[in-house]
Structure 1
Amino acid sequence: MTFAKKALLMLMAAALGAVAMWACGDGDGGQPTPVTREQAEREIEERLDELRQRWDELSRETGQMSEDARRRIESEIEELQRQLDDLRTAGDDRVDDIRSQIAEGLDRLERGLDDLERQIAPDTSR
């Protein structure tokens, strides 16, 4: 066998090996494995429950919270619950969009609770 034929065979073997390795992988280019719909619902429920508990504790701890802040937080929680209900009944084509909206809402709610805690916390810097 000539050198050119050997080189060609080696090149073909390397290419086939690369294709085989690619085919055996999950084909997502190293991206994180997406969670199932049920896992997403469970994680969202858990985070929403944690934020609800945090809200309940905050609202019990202080009476100095403005009615506007109270309504805003409660409205955000209700909206997130509605979106979670939508996620449960949504078609597969809408799941990712709804999950993104819920994630943004959960982050917004968490930031709102953080801000509220800072506002009502006693000033310990003195």
Structure 2
Amino acid sequence: MDYVGYNFYADVFEASIDLKTGFCGARAAPLSRKNLKTAHIPESVSIRITENGWPTGKHPFTGEDRSYEHQAKVLEAVIRTVYALRQELNITHYELFGLRDADSSVHDLFHQFGIMRDDYTPKPAFYTFQRLIQELGV
């Protein structure tokens, strides 16, 4: 086994994200420490965040409006948390789920995961992601 892929979407289907700590810290730690041991996967096997994102638009269950600005804040909190935990949890990769919305005109979160609109115009999260790559990228 080369790696364990971990997909998570903080505050999409789960509890609200804590922007100070990054929701993923609470989610990734049990994965690496408990579940991998239970499955007899050694700590030397790395974790790759294989899907992560936070959509804009209306939440289909709550009707909550999910703003572009909040998407940028969530993305920054999650990426900084993953970065801070990378050595402790042996996280070697991070992959963003969607660069571009599937359909920006549909006001449903399942169509607006991108950090760019469907016409490739950037949302604020695009610039946040770009800045974080420059700052934290290797």
TM-score by length of 2: 0.27
* TM-score using structure 1 length: 0.29
Q: Which has the higher strand share?
A: 2
Higher helix share: 1
When Rg is computed on C-alpha atoms for both structures, the one with the higher figure is 1
